[in-house]
Structure 1
Amino acid sequence: MDDLDLIRDRAGTVGFAPPERLAPARERLLAAARGERPQRSRRWFWAAGASIGLAAAITAVVALAPAEQVGLGVGVANADPVRVLTEAASAALQVPAKAPRPDQFLYVKTEYPGHHTREIWLSVDGTRDGLLGKDTKFPGCRDGKAAMYGTNDPKKEGSLEDCTPSPAYRTDLPTTADAMLAYLNTHHSGEKGDTNAMGKDVLVLADEQALPPETYAALFQAAAKVPGLEALDHVTDGAGRPGVGITWTNPADPPGFKGIVLVFDAKTHQFLGTEDSAVTVKTFVDEAGQRP
């Protein structure tokens, strides 16, 4: 391993301080190196011991900067998954709470690797026809009836069937961690104890649904109570944005199995998406097909 390898290895572990912090830290470091040392010792420091000295210098400069300025937070080594989710809950509570009108639509733009995108418009109260992409309709449920679209059967196309509204803006969900955990356990999509399925259920609510801030907070707080939590450092979402990943491990999973990974911004703790998807726009609009 040469000097550059040592630098890369150490920098990848602890990160770099911002430029404004590096200058005074570097001066202090060099001043210390120029202290009352015999000439031979200085030569050893810069020559025979250059590899060790450079790596130590990097560590010293980084250590002189406050952790929040060098990125030594939840997005680097040994992130605590409970802390990540707890801070995500706190961040959710800071979002201004403005309920949409019932006649509006939730617009969500999701990006995937390879520059693929998905756009969807979902009825806030579930009674109006939504839209996926340019021409795929989602039927709204009005008076207990919804039109049938995309049946490939001209006789059935547009005919009515029984339904229950599925609002995109959920005001019916718990607002405390314990109640939300009980809800997730009751409505989970997998078998009992399937933590990966629980992760998917959390994703469904955090992804293409809109929740009041206190419900978002309860969702992440409840997720923090699920057994088998694991934090993954230095991950990226589907759009390449860096963050910290949260996944759930299950003892019954086969070797090498990788479950769903939720990605949060390492500094703001905002939910970004997954390793395979990225929610880049999420807002309310007045019509299906309208972009903000």
Structure 2
Amino acid sequence: MKDTTSPATREPRHDREAIARMLPAPAEWDVPQARLAHHRDRLMRHIDQHGGTAPAPTRTRPRLLRPALLAPVTALTLAGALTAGVVLAHPGARTSRDRADLRTEPAAALLTRISDVAEQRTVPTVRADQYVYTREKVRGADLSSGKAVLGPLQDSERWLSQQAGPVRQEGLQRVDGQTSRINAEFGDTAGTPAGISRPTYAWLGSLPTDPDALLAALKAQQPSTNDSAPDQWVFDEIGDLLGGVMPPRTAAALYRAAARIPGVTRAPGARDALGRQGLGIARVDSGHALRTEWVFDPADFRFLGSRTVLVKDTAYAKAGTLMSGSAEIENGVADRAGQQPAAGELTRTRDAG
């Protein structure tokens, strides 16, 4: 029956129902409600930090925001992660056979090579009164229109407090010239201590270096509200911790631990957000049809960045669509938030521009 009521008198509910009927059919798979709520919360934190209209200041862990909120949302821009490669040693020249091996050897073997180099690096020791600095290029997909629209590259800088905590202000970030504070979660009057949600240099150094013990320790940190499979969750957490300024033994242990996660494979042709092609390590999150790739410099195994792509057609994008990406530019140690590290405390990635 035709609705003859005027727009002025028609109930809003009728308009909502009419609009709902116009929306495209949902994808073949959906995100569990717990997962949806989790990522909606992360989205609101991100909007708040990038000049949006979130209801209150909130804490956001500096990490690559994974696009697992697989439904149209307002102003979704996926941010970068605390990942940057500090490499002050070079593995040395390689023969053509070595280079061929790098392209074809299994993921576990490549991660072992990367681990061996990481353990020999020399990195600065970070004091509790200093800040770890990271600069990267990031981009992500906006789903507000109902279709994935890849946004432009953004320049992101972060200064992360190294205090053991708990701290209310975790650091500072600057995105395309706009500066904002990184605060503890709204309502958390005690602040956030060093840990998986705020990984300081000292906390990273306290982690076990045995790969199996490290995997167990990380898996034990998975929140009960997170519905990811434990292996996927720990792979994502390691990805968030990669690079940066951390004790060499910890960096090496993270790579060795990643090599033991089932489902970790090579990613031929992997590129970071700047288009730099490198050696790729990947894992598919089958629960959300996403593949996350880590990209490493083939010359010195430096961590270059990461990207996340769809592996299944959805209502908003086809398989193979890039959902988020990051590229490491430089990182180091600063004495104050907002201050550039001294020249001797700063490392740049290859061809960072």
> In the TM superposition, what is the alpha-carbon distance from 1:168 to its structure 2 partner?
2.5
In structure 2, C-alpha distance between the alignment counterparts of 1:202 and 1:100, rounded to whole Å: 20
Residues matched between the structures, number? 205
TM-score, scaled relative to structure 1 = 0.62
- In structure 1, what is the equivalent of residue 100 of structure 2? 72
C-alpha contact 1:106 1:121 (8 A) present in aligned 2: yes
Residues 106 and 282, structure 1, Cα contact 8 Å, conserved in 2: yes
Q: Which of 240, 243, 248 is the equivalent residue of 2:275?
A: 240
Q: How does 1:1-292 map to 2 (within 5 A)?
A: 66-68=95-97, 71-74=99-102, 76=103, 78-113=104-139, 114-127=152-165, 129=169, 130-133=171-174, 134-139=178-183, 161-166=189-194, 168-169=200-201, 170=203, 171-188=205-222, 190-191=226-227, 193-206=229-242, 210-249=245-284, 252-253=286-287, 257-275=289-307, 276-292=325-341
C-alpha distance in 2 between matches for 1:188 and 1:108: 25
Q: Is the 8 A contact 1:263 1:271 kept in 2?
A: yes
Contact 2:228 2:287 in 1 (8 A): no
Q: Which residue of 2 aligns with 1:35?
A: none
Contact 2:235 2:261 in 1 (8 A): no
Aligned-residue offset at 1:253: 4.3
Specify the SS of the correspondent of 1:187: coil
CA apart distance, 1:194: 4.5
**How far apart are the structure 2 equivalents of 1:178 and 1:210?**
23
The residue identity in structure 2 corresponding to 1:90 is D
Q: Look up the SS of the partner of 1:135 in the other structure.
A: strand
Question: Quick one: which amino acid aligns to residue 125 of structure 1?
Answer: Q
| Identical pairs, percent | 28
Q: Whose radius of gyration is greater, 1 or 2?
A: 1
Deviation of 1:184 (Å):
2.2
Partner letter of residue 163 of structure 1? G
* Secondary structure of 1:72's aligned partner: helix
Q: Taking structure 1 as reference, are residues 107 and 280 closer, same or farther at Cα in structure 2, changes over 3 Å only?
A: same
Cα offset, 1:90, TM superposition: 1.0
Q: 1:73 to 1:265 in 2, by over 3 A?
A: farther
Long gaps (5+) in structure 2: 1-93, 140-151, 308-324, 342-353
| d(CA) in 2 for partners of 1:188, 1:213 | 24
Secondary structure, counterpart of 1:235 in structure 2 = coil
Cα distance, 1:277 vs structure 2? 0.5
Change (3 A) 1:73 1:266: farther
Contact 1:199 1:260 in 2 (8 A): no
Q: Cα RMSD (Å) of the superposition?
A: 2.8
Gapped regions of structure 1 (runs ≥ 5): 1-64, 140-145
- Per-residue CA deviation, residues 144-186 of structure 1 (Å, 9 max, x unaligned), is xx7x8xx7xxxx9xxx811242352132211221211111222
Give 1 or 2: higher helix fraction. Answer: 1
Is contact 1:84–1:269 with CA below 8 Å preserved after alignment? no
Taking the aligned partners of 2:258 and 2:337, their CA distance within structure 1 comes to: 32
User: Matched residues in 1 for 2:128 and 2:156: separation?
Assistant: 23
Q: Is the 8 A contact 2:118 2:252 kept in 1?
A: yes
User: Corresponding residue for 2:318?
Assistant: none
